Each structure stands twice: as C-alpha cells, then as structure tokens.
C-alpha cells in the first residue's frame, strides 16, 4: 500500500468520498414523491382498517356488508404490505 503513487491514492480517496456522499444522499433524502406515495398508502390503510372495524361492529349480517368487510380487510392487509415494502425499499 505504501508503494502506491500519490495520484492513485488521491483518486481512490476521491472515489470513496463520492461513494459515501452519494450513499448518504440516497438514504436520507425523502423526495416529495416518496412522501406523497407513503402518506397516501398509510391514510388508505388506516381508513380501510377503521371502516372494517365499523362494519364488523355496526354493519349487520347482510351479504353486502360481509363483502364490503372482506374488501376492507384485503385493502388494509395489502396496505400494510405496501408500507413495509416502501420502507424496505427506501432503506436498501
């Protein structure tokens, strides 16, 4: 390592600085688009969960209420999966 030319060691240190700067920008930078998508998914997930609970508590036993509750249940489960995927994609 000590026998390397100074220009090579400067080039390597410059490259490592660029990589560390680029990596830190990617991980800490929440773009407005990501924030909007994440917020939308989170709000829809919470609304579906609340509606599912309300339908279960006050909906009755008709087939339409059961179908709506099933749709809400599927929606909030997919929403939780999307939230985990968005967070995991942002961290990686």
Q: What is the pLDDT of residues 57-71, one digit of tens each?
A: 998 889 999 999 999
Report the C-alpha gap between 49 and 51 in whole angstroms: 5
The Cα 18–Cα 12 span in angstroms is 10
* Highest-confidence segment of 6-10, 40-44, 53-57: 40-44
The answer to whether residue 49 scores a pLDDT higher than 90 is yes
What is residue 80's DSSP assignment?
H
Tell me the C-alpha distance between 15 and 22, whole Å.
Answer: 10
Residue 47: pLDDT band (50, 70, 90) is very high
Longest dimension (CA), the chain: 82
């Amino acid at each position: 390592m000590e026998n390397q030319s100074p220009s090579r060691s400067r080039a390597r240190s410059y490259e490592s600085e660029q990589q560390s700067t680029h990596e830190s920008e990617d991980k800490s930078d929440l773009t407005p688009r990501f924030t909007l998508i994440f917020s939308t998914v989170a709000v829809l997930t919470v609304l579906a969960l609340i509606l599912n609970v309300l339908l279960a508590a006050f909906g009755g036993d008709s087939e339409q209420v059961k179908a709506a509750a099933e749709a809400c249940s599927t929606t909030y489960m997919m929403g939780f999966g999307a939230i985990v995927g968005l967070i995991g994609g942002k961290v990686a």
